[in-house]
Amino acid sequence: MIYGTCTTASKSLSFKTLVLQKSFNFRVQFFSNCSPKKLRMDNNLNCSIEGNKKGSRGALVVLEGLDRSGKSSQCTRLVNYLEGQRISAELWRFPDRNTDVGKMISAYLTNTSQLDDHTIHLLFSANRWEKRLLMETKLKSGTTLVVDRYSYSGVAFSSAKGLDIEWCKASEVGLLAPDLVAYLDISPEKAAERGGYGGERYEKLEFQKKVAESYKAIHDVSWKFVDAFQPIEDVEKQLQEIVIDCVTECQKGKKPLSLLWSK
Ligand code: Z5A
Ligand code: MG
């Protein structure tokens, strides 16, 4: 009835209003259908594109420590926390047992294959090298990587077997240097009391004591030591405080990527 009395101009105005109204309704419906995660991904994409121009990037955060110190538990909690803060984050781990090299490492660790100590050391290194480019790409696109063991495990475990530390470091030179290394500090005895060791090659108290000594020999002043014998939630809280500062600094674009053990 109303339409019947409209002029052409007002008809076209009503049509435009209708189209705008429909478009608005569609947007409201579209965004209300989006999960918070989807929206967060959109935000992160914008951040990283703008971030690239300013040198903004994700942080490379590494958790190290003895067997059963709680690394894997804390890496998972940390990524959940960062995502909750609307920070794009991924959980990585070494060895990455999914690659061909990783499968050889896994066979060695589960005692289904035997390898010379130098050979397995180089395989662990190769397993990091094969992920290096992807690591750099992710960091530059703004994703923070929380990494469960890295080159320090490589050097600590191989040197605990008696290999020369400098020789062990050599194959790691040129990999990306972490922005933060958090060491989950616990005595080998206390760690052994947790859940019991499985059947993997290095899961023996005497060997873990040697690994603890090796970690002491290779750490530097930049490492953050966290008492890993505290309740799991307290360790989690402490890590969040340490990591958020590092992530913020990398987001601001004030920290260029650097290389591990390069002069
Ligand atoms: N290796 C090497 O030789 N060279 C290399 O370059 C690299 C590795 C990268 C495989 O590692 C082996 O490879 C490893 C080093 C060597 N061998 N060793 N030993 P892996 O990372 O695959 O190992 P894993 O199987 O993940 O286990 P893990 O590292 O021993 O455990 P974790 O990750 O540190 O701990 P968790 O799984 O988080 O926790 C262990 C238990 O403790 C579990 O029941 C938790 O619920 C409990 N927990 C954790 N935190 C607490 C606190 N705060 N209180 C009480 N209970 C807790
Ligand atoms: Mg673990």
Q: Give me the domains of the chain, ranges plus CATH numbers.
A: 56-251 (3.40.50.300)
Contact 77, 236 (CB under 8 A): yes
CA of 74, nearest ligand number: 1
188 CA to centre of ligand 1 in angstroms: 12
C-alpha to C-alpha distance for 141 and 57, rounded to whole angstroms: 6
Closest CA to 244 of 107, 93, 87: 87
CA of 109, nearest ligand number: 1
Distance linking the first and last C-alpha atoms of the chain: 83
Could you tell me the two tokens for 154? 């490589």
| From 69, 72, 169, mutation site for ligand 1 pocket: most ligand atoms within 8 A of C-beta | 72
pLDDT value of position 52: 57
Whether ligand 1 lies within 6 angstroms of the CB of 194 is answered as yes
Contact 199, 111 (CB under 8 A): yes
pLDDT value of position 199: 78
63 bridge partner residues: 148, 182
Low-confidence stretches of the chain (pLDDT < 70) are: 1-53
Reported residue count of the chain is: 263
C-alpha to C-alpha distance for 194 and 206, rounded to whole angstroms: 16
88 CA to centre of ligand 1 in angstroms: 24
Helices 232-251 and 71-84: crossing angle in degrees, nearest 10, is 50
pLDDT value of position 217: 97
C-alpha to C-alpha distance for 134 and 66, rounded to whole angstroms: 27
Whether ligand 1 lies within 6 angstroms of the CB of 202 is answered as yes
| Closest residue to atom 43 of ligand 1, CA basis | 195
pTM here is 0.84
261 CA to centre of ligand 1 in angstroms: 25
pLDDT value of position 260: 97
C-alpha to C-alpha distance for 67 and 214, rounded to whole angstroms: 14
147 bridge partner residues: 62, 92
pLDDT value of position 53: 56
**Which tens digits make up the pLDDT trace of 209-259?**
999 999 999 999 999 999 999 999 999 999 999 999 999 999 999 899 999
203 CA to centre of ligand 1 in angstroms: 10
Looking only at the bridges linking them, the beta strands covering 60-65 and 89-93 are: unpaired
Whether ligand 1 lies within 6 angstroms of the CB of 171 is answered as no
The backbone torsions φ and ψ at residue 242, rounded to the nearest 5 degrees and listed phi first, read: -65, -45
pLDDT value of position 254: 86
